Amino acid sequence: MKINYIEIAEHYLSKIVTSNYYLQSNPVKEIELLYPGFKALLNKLRFNFPVQFAYTETYRSNTLQKQYYSQGLSKIKTNGMHHYGIAADLIFIIDGQRTYKGPFDKLHTAYESVGGPDLGSLENWDAGHLQFIPVVEQNRLREEVNAAVLRFQRKQGLKIDGIIGPNTIAAAKKFYS
Ligand SMILES: [Zn+2]
């Protein structure tokens, strides 16, 4: 599958940075902030997978990511894949009950068969986690997003520092509304 990194970065700026969820520290379970290509992949997976599942977390703010990091729940301090709207954590629903005792091994095979990337070793320590891009491309995406933020700041006459502070958020809300 061809991945359009610039489009993911554009989605981040236009839909996520401008969202009311952007800074909030509660886990988001809705799929509305997810990148459309990823959402489509998850829907395909849901259609093809014999076991029902629900999302425990989709988008994640950097505030919450830092909390997870300090609690040892995540190895990433900021800008994880959840933050860009291209990751989701799943729990199975079996006999009407939410459970982590389900076919995670089959989940990843099914995800790949509908077009998702091979998530490699990530499957072992974060079994319910699915993401849109391969792990080796994560830094490429971060660079692409950073470049998009700098371009936006330059165009908008803001301080060009790559930091998404109040001024950049306000400008994005205005520009993309
Ligand atoms: Zn995750």
Residue-wise pLDDT for 36-45, tens only, equals 999 999 999 9
Average pLDDT for 12-25: 96
How close is the Cα of 171 to the center of ligand 1, in Å?
29
Is residue 129 exposed (0-12), middle (13-18) or buried (19+ Cβ within 10 Å)? buried
How close is the Cα of 152 to the center of ligand 1, in Å?
28
- For the chain, how big is the Rg over CA atoms in Å? 17
Residue 126 has a pLDDT of 79
How close is the Cα of 133 to the center of ligand 1, in Å?
13
pLDDT value at 1 more than 90: no
Average pLDDT for 118-143: 89
How close is the Cα of 155 to the center of ligand 1, in Å?
33
pLDDT value at 122 more than 90: no
Average pLDDT for 138-167: 97
How close is the Cα of 87 to the center of ligand 1, in Å?
6
d(CA 175, CA 151): 13
Architecture, CATH, for domain 5-176: 2-Layer Sandwich (3.30)
pLDDT, the chain, mean = 94
How close is the Cα of 139 to the center of ligand 1, in Å?
16
| 79 CB-near residues (< 8 Å, 6+ apart) | 62, 65, 142, 145
Residue 14 has a pLDDT of 97
What is the 3 state secondary structure string of 58-75?
CCCCHHHHHHHHHCCCCC
How close is the Cα of 109 to the center of ligand 1, in Å?
17
How close is the Cα of 148 to the center of ligand 1, in Å?
24
